């Protein structure tokens, strides 16, 4: 082997600058040619990742520096994608823990660091954004040390090295003094080389390769990405795969990919310690082991996070079905969902009817991103309210609980505490920092469905909420998750008029504007009472032939409430659906006919 290898993951809370740091490491290492165009946040390849500034699926990149090949895995910081983080820890020997110099340690910092310490990988702490005027470098370092101790770090893990960087400006130093920052990343590269051990692998042994992540493309099918743990692997070689159930399947390695910079490059062979991707077995799965034929020795199976939330996906059957989407049939939606399970191991899809599927995932964000991707690709569908997955453990019904950390301005604390109390949350801790109150809670996952919308309103957008899965615990009889207020439902088909909307404004808040096409059963606004109200929004003004004074004044309407996908998924009740097309997001009742719906409601309440 010509190059020495270091395998390292970057872990951090959402938005602390992981992906920006990877950009700088790529630029400053000389991995790119001078004339190569490098866009910012190159690692976030998916449009949604780029818009939201979050990393969804782990990305692999590699840097050549002074005779070393440094493989870097950029991990998701959001708890919905925690399964990825855990599996990545099996591929690396060290982590860069990135912490914002102002925000300090946050819930996801804790979440990803716990996974790293459990996997016994070597940490290096990188404090980012040190150039900010609000940076509190020394205090943040103390917080990090406290967090390590709290998570049970060993003395060896506590003896970590620290680098101070500004990823945005591309500067770095090993000294907290801002004046020592210099315009290269040699200090950080040398720390990685000196501190992080080389891969613990057997170069001369029999082949062992275990996929920890999956990818998929139309030409070669499933691709397994992982670490060559032992031996070497070659293109066109016949190998055997020890399946999760212990059975063995032989297959030929059709393609072998390595990583350099941002490119996935085809290679002929790879050795122990390399992180590579292989294609050739259509249904290869995370945690299986690829071995030499006749020398099958399985590696320990990797744990995959269980889904905690499920939704029903259906073909669109509203009166507007097929008007705006390219892919509208059950077979097209089914194929697309199946394709997603090829790439995402923590997603489960089961056919639940002729034209409906139960899709289970790790949280609202996980499922919301799948829906948004489908919408952008031209799919049209309907989805039901998300509900938590109840499990039976030792004969007791259990539901998922989450740890929640909230930061709110002092004046909003009372409202937030009251709202969480009604949702079955239990307060663990409360601290006050610079007029911001930090609250820690344990709450049933269903208590969080629909909470973020209320939370933003309560805190006027200044609150920050983060949550991570804790464990399954016995179900408590707290009635949470249903919206209290009723809705305004259209009883006619047609175009909404300014006149009709103007007359309804005192009944609640509208979701539509004049000229918007509506159908019977579509939700057009929120009622200011607890019951639903069937309304006519297409009614025009009766014209008379006498002209009354003042009859020509224009109706001035309030702005309608904007409907985003997250808001709608949070908002709906169990008898409602969200209709999603590439151009529109609409709310509707499951039963569109006004009379039938009234009968159904009467029966339900009777």
Q: Around Cβ 484, how many Cβ atoms within 10 Å?
A: 9
Rounded to whole angstroms, how far apart are CA atoms 318 and 488?
Answer: 17
One domain for residues 61 and 190: yes
Q: Could you tell me if residue 580 is inside a domain?
A: no
Write out pLDDT tens, residues 193-212. Answer: 999 999 988 888 899 999 98
Q: Could you tell me if residue 482 is inside a domain?
A: no
One domain for residues 172 and 277: no
One domain for residues 364 and 440: no
Q: Which of 195, 220, 242 is the last residue before a domain boundary? A: 195
One domain for residues 460 and 559: no
Give the angle subtended at the CA of 69 by the CAs of 63 and 75, to the nearest 5°. Answer: 60
Q: What is the pLDDT of residue 333?
A: 95
Are the CB atoms for 74 and 22 separated by under 8 Å? yes
Helix (H), strand (E) at residue 40: none
Q: Which of 388, 412, 433 is the last residue before a domain boundary? A: 388
- The candidate with the shortest Cα–Cα distance to 563, out of 576, 550, 547, is 576
Are the CB atoms for 61 and 72 separated by under 8 Å? yes
pLDDT bucket at 103, cuts 50 / 70 / 90: confident
One domain for residues 178 and 107: yes
Write out pLDDT tens, residues 378-406. Answer: 999 999 999 899 999 888 999 999 888 88
One domain for residues 134 and 224: no
One domain for residues 464 and 423: yes
- DSSP assignment letter at 519: -
* Lowest mean pLDDT, pick from 427-441, 454-468, 521-535, 587-601: 454-468
Give the HSE-up count for residue 463: Cα atoms under 13 Å, Cβ half-sphere: 27
pLDDT bucket at 2, cuts 50 / 70 / 90: low
Q: What is the pLDDT of residue 41?
A: 40
Structural domains of the chain, count: 5
Q: Could you tell me if residue 67 is inside a domain?
A: yes
Q: Could you tell me if residue 176 is inside a domain?
A: yes
Give the angle subtended at the CA of 89 by the CAs of 345 and 160, to the nearest 5°. Answer: 155
One domain for residues 282 and 340: no
Contacts of 216 (CB under 8 A, 6+ apart): 222, 223, 339, 342, 343
Q: What is the pTM of this model?
A: 0.75
Q: Which of 326, 360, 388 is the last residue before a domain boundary? A: 388
Q: Could you tell me if residue 519 is inside a domain?
A: yes
Q: What is the pLDDT of residue 484?
A: 80
Rounded to whole angstroms, how far apart are CA atoms 117 and 398?
Answer: 28
Segments forming the whole domain that contains residue 367: 309-388
Are the CB atoms for 223 and 99 separated by under 8 Å? no
> Residue 567 is part of a domain; what is its CATH number?
2.40.50.250
Backbone φ, ψ for residue 239 (5° rounding): -135, 175
One domain for residues 399 and 381: no
Rounded to whole angstroms, how far apart are CA atoms 221 and 329?
Answer: 23
pLDDT bucket at 7, cuts 50 / 70 / 90: very high
> Residue 416 is part of a domain; what is its CATH number?
3.30.70.240
Whole-number Cα distances in Å, 137 to 173, 192, 492, 552: 13, 21, 61, 64
* Lowest mean pLDDT, pick from 75-89, 254-268, 295-309, 456-470: 75-89
Number of residues written out for the chain: 606
Q: Around Cβ 392, how many Cβ atoms within 10 Å?
A: 9
> Residue 21 is part of a domain; what is its CATH number?
3.40.50.300
Q: Could you tell me if residue 470 is inside a domain?
A: yes
One domain for residues 116 and 65: yes
Q: What is the pLDDT of residue 162?
A: 92
On average, the pLDDT of the chain sits at 84
- Whether the predicted pLDDT of 467 surpasses 70: yes
Token representation of residue 599: 């009968």
> Residue 314 is part of a domain; what is its CATH number?
3.30.70.870
pLDDT bucket at 483, cuts 50 / 70 / 90: confident
One domain for residues 15 and 134: yes
Q: Could you tell me if residue 299 is inside a domain?
A: no
Q: Could you tell me if residue 298 is inside a domain?
A: no
Q: What is the pLDDT of residue 32?
A: 52
- Whether the predicted pLDDT of 80 surpasses 90: no
Write out pLDDT tens, residues 269-305. Answer: 888 889 898 988 888 888 888 998 988 888 888 877 7
Write out pLDDT tens, residues 160-183. Answer: 999 998 888 888 888 888 888 888
């Amino acid at each position: 082997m010509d190059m020495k290898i270091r395998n390292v993951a970057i872990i951090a809370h959402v938005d602390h600058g992981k992906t920006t740091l990877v950009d700088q490491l790529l630029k400053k290492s000389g991995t790119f040619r001078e004339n190569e165009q490098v866009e910012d946040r190159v690692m976030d390849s998916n449009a949604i990742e780029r818009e939201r500034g979050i990393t969804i699926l782990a990305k692999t990149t590699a840097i050549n520096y002074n005779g070393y090949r440094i493989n870097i895995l950029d991990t998701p910081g959001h708890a919905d994608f925690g399964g990825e983080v855990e599996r990545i820890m099996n591929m690396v020997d060290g982590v860069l823990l990135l912490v914002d110099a102002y925000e300090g340690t946050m819930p996801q910092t804790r979440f990803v660091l716990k996974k790293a310490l459990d996997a016994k990988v070597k940490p290096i702490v990188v404090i980012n954004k040190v150039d900010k005027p609000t940076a509190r470098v020394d205090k943040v370092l103390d917080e990090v040390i406290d967090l390590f101790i709290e998570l049970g770090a060993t003395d060896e893990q506590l003896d970590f090295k620290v680098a101070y960087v500004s990823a945005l400006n591309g500067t770095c130093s090993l000294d907290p003094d801002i004046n020592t920052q210099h315009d290269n990343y040699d200090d950080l590269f040398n720390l990685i080389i000196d501190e992080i051990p080389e891969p613990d692998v057997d170069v001369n042994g029999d082949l062992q390769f275990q996929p920890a992540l999956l990818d998929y493309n139309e030409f070669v099918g499933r691709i397994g990405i992982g670490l060559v743990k032992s031996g070497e692997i070659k293109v066109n070689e016949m190998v055997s795969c020890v399946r999760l159930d212990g059975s063995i399947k032989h297959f030929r390695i059709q393609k072998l990919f390595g990583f350099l910079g941002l490119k996935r490059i085809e290679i002929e062979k790879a050795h122990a310690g390399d992180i590579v991707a292989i294609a050739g077995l259509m249904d290869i799965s995370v945690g299986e082991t690829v071995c030499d034929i006749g020398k099958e020795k399985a590696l320990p199976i990797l744990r995959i996070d269980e889904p905690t939330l499920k939704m029903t996906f259906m073909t669109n059957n509203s009166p507007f079905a097929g008007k705006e989407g390219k892919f509208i049939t059950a077979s097209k939606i089914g194929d697309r969902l199946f394709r997603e399970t090829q790439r995402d191991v923590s997603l489960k899809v089961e056919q639940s009817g002729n034209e409906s599927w139960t899709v289970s995932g790790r949280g609202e964000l996980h499922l919301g991103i799948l829906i948004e991707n489908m919408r952008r690709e031209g799919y049209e569908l309907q989805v039901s309210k998300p509900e938590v997955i109840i499990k039976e453990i030792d004969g007791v019904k259990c539901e998922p609980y989450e740890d929640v950390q909230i930061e709110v301005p002092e004046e909003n604390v009372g409202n937030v505490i009251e709202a969480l109390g009604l949702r079955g949350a239990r307060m663990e801790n409360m601290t006050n920092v610079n007029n911001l109150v930090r609250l820690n809670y344990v709450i049933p996952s269903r208590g969080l469905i629909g909470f973020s919308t209320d939370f933003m309103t309560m805190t006027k957008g200044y609150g920050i909420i983060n949550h991570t899965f804790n464990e399954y615990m016995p179900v408590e009889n707290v009635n949470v998750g249903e919206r209290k207020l009723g809705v305004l439902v259209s009883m006619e088909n047609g175009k909404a008029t300014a006149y009709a909307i103007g007359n309804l404004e005192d009944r609640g808040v509208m979701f539509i504007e004049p000229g918007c096409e509506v159908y019977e059963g579509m939700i057009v606004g929120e009622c200011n009472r607890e019951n639903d109200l069937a309304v006519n929004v297409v009614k025009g003004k009766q014209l008379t032939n006498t002209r009354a004074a003042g009859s020509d004044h224009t109706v001035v309407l309030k702005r309608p409430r904007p409907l985003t996908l997250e808001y709608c998924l949070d908002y709906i009740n169990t008898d409602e659906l969200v209709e999603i097309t590439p151009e529109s997001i609409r709310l509707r009742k499951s039963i569109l006919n006004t009379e039938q719906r009234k009968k159904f409601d009467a029966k339900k309440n009777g």
